[in-house]
Amino acid sequence: MKKKSTAEISTNDLERIISSYLEKRLEASDKVSVSGLTRIAVGWSHETWLFDADWRDHDDEQQRLELCLRRDPGNALLRETSNLEEQFKVLKCLEKTEVPSPKAYWLELDSETLGAPALIMEKIPGECPSPWRKDGRKFYAAAAKREVLPKSFVDALCSIHNVDWKSCGLDFLGVPTTGKDFALREIAKWESLIAESDHPGHPILADLMGWLISNAPSTEKLTLVHGAYRTGNVLIESDKVSAVLDWELQVIGDPMYDVAYMLTELNREGTDLLSNVVPRDLFLSRYETNTGIKIDEEKCRYFQLLYAMRSAAFWMSAAGLYAQSKNTDLRLARTEWSITVALERAAQELGY
Amino acid sequence: MTLPPSDILKRLADTIRNDIGPAVSDEYTRTQAFMASVILTKLSKQLDLELAHRLAEKADVEELKLQLQTLLNGSPPPVQNRLNDFLQQDQIMPLTSLLTELHEWGVHNSKASDAVELIRPVLRADIDRRMEIAT
């Protein structure tokens, strides 16, 4: 049997808790019926649950909302680097923009109300095939041939980089100064996650970090950066991006950070299509036209090394959560050997 | 029991993968069984290769010590201190602090960059050994 952490909860209990919570939040004349409660994305991040809420309002009109609940059980991969309060605020800010994103409804930071800190947002129609699975790769290959999704996928990234982040209030994320500050902040963030993991590390990591600090590029134009923009982190409906998901790594920073993630070989398996769906030439021309930002491939190569450090930090954090008995999931223990793979790649990128 | 520990781990891994895992109906628990099998296989490989890897690491480190001692003679005290830490051990882990100091000293300094270039083949050899287990 799976050992349950204190934040874990049965579907029936959660259904009851959500129903009672929504009765207070919605103008319901009677009980709120919660149905179809299903946990998805059984990953290492925050829990994600989908459900429908039905109720009668005070005019006796039948109402329905399709909703998504994210809960933080306190043992997720990114630890304090990601939190629901920030996600909630980001989604609220994005409601005023062109970025396809779900509407955020409620945030509960205490662990009593919904059993763990949680946010409730709109459930947007669409599917999210995994690019790491055979059926997912088949889906993206077919969509690429129809030529609609590739454009929509690029356009959604452009919409993120075109956001007027100051006017919509996203400066709460922290604004680096122009120059090397953005790159150095990212290095410091992942260094801090590594420190939290209590992992002994490896000299290649010290070499990589030393190189990253010495070669930090200058950032002049700051945009909203998603931080993990790839297929698998967007919802797709009728070959178009209906929502950009996973707002856990966003920063105000260098747009090339996202572009580098688009260009990396790590996000495509057995295909030349970026993120398994976009022809490279289409991406380069459409992105530059839609954003007016020139792609700097040298800077992208730098950020790909920064991603090698970030990957190592993720796996160290994951392995650390298991080693520190904060999470009993054996998939986390397995990542001990993923650290080696990330560092081997870093050594290659550094030229040895 | 006469079986070497690495063989026992490998057999446990096979039993979990082929017999126990498939008999579990709950998806999460079945995944955990599969992961347990993967981990045991890696630990078995690690045990198998441990002695050879340790000897290879020690040989690499001994050679590197001689090279770095000559090259870094007269380097700044923080580098010298980290070098001394490394010289007292027969493994590569103390190179972490030495590399941090070398990068601080500045890779545009020729001695520092030469030292980093001397160290890198040893790190390459180490990560190759680790990859034998990881993949």
- Return the pLDDT at B44: 97
10 Å Cβ neighbour count for B47? 17
Looking up tokens 């690491």 gives B57
CA pair distance A121, A104, nearest whole angstrom:
4
pTM of the model: 0.91
Residues shown for chain A: 352
The CA radius of gyration of chain B, in Å to the nearest whole number, is 21
| Candidates B29, B103, B124; nearest CB to A213 | B103
> Contact A173/A249 with Cβ under 8 angstroms?
no
Nearest residue of chain B to residue A350 (CA atoms): B120
Token pair, residue A244, equals: 């950009």
Is residue A243 classed as helix, strand or coil in its secondary structure?
A: strand
- Return the pLDDT at A8: 65
Q: What percent of chain B has pLDDT over 70?
A: 98
What pairing do the DSSP bridges indicate for beta strands A33-40 and A223-225?
unpaired
- Cβ–Cβ of B119/A214 closer than 8 Å? no
10 Å Cβ neighbour count for A351? 8
- Return the pLDDT at A292: 98
Taking every pair of C-alpha atoms in chain B, what is the biggest distance, in angstroms?
66
Partners of A350 on chain B (C-beta within 8 Å) are 120
> Which residue type, as a one-letter code, is found at position A340?
T
Complex confidence, ipTM: 0.94
What pairing do the DSSP bridges indicate for beta strands A47-56 and A62-71?
antiparallel
Contacts of A233 (CB under 8 A, 6+ apart): A128, A226, A244, A245, A246
The alpha-helical segments, DSSP class H, found in B2-109 are 5-15, 27-71, 77-87, 95-105
> Contact A115/A9 with Cβ under 8 angstroms?
yes
Nearest residue of chain A to residue B39 (CA atoms): A334
Return left, alpha or beta for A39; rule: phi > 0 is left, psi -120 to 50 is alpha, else beta: beta
Asked if B22 reaches chain A (Cβ–Cβ under 8 Å), the answer is no
> Contact B42/A337 with Cβ under 8 angstroms?
yes
Identify which of B67, B70, B66, B55 has the alpha carbon closest to the alpha carbon of residue B126: B55
pLDDT band of residue B1 (cuts 50, 70, 90) is low
Q: Partners of A68 in the beta sheet?
A: A50, A121
- Cβ–Cβ of B116/A209 closer than 8 Å? no
Is residue A345 classed as helix, strand or coil in its secondary structure?
A: helix
Print pLDDT tens along chain A (352 aa): 444 444 567 888 899 999 999 998 987 778 899 999 988 865 677 888 999 999 988 888 899 999 999 998 877 777 777 789 999 999 999 999 999 999 999 999 998 899 889 999 999 999 999 998 899 999 999 999 999 999 999 999 999 999 999 999 999 999 999 999 999 999 999 999 999 999 999 999 999 999 999 999 999 999 999 999 999 999 999 999 999 999 999 999 999 999 999 999 888 888 999 999 999 999 999 999 999 999 999 999 999 999 999 999 999 999 999 999 988 889 999 999 999 999 999 999 999 9
Identify which of A291, A263, A261, A278 has the alpha carbon closest to the alpha carbon of residue A152: A278
- Return the pLDDT at A2: 43
Partners of A43 on chain B (C-beta within 8 Å) are none
Identify which of B69, B55, B66, B64 has the alpha carbon closest to the alpha carbon of residue A203: B64
Token pair, residue A11, equals: 């579907």
10 Å Cβ neighbour count for A11? 12
Residue A257 is given by DSSP the state: H
| Candidates A206, A333, A347; nearest CB to B99 | A206
Test mutation, B57, B123, B132, B133, chain A, max A CBs within 10 A = B123
- Cβ–Cβ of B39/A211 closer than 8 Å? no
Q: Partners of A70 in the beta sheet?
A: A48, A119
CA pair distance B86, B99, nearest whole angstrom:
11
Closest-CA distance, B37 to chain A, in angstroms, reads 10
10 Å Cβ neighbour count for A43? 13
Q: ∠ CA(A279), CA(A281), CA(A287), 5° rounding?
A: 100
**Segment B8-28 mean pLDDT:** 93
Nearest residue of chain B to residue A3 (CA atoms): B29
Looking up tokens 């996203």 gives A170
Nearest residue of chain A to residue B100 (CA atoms): A206
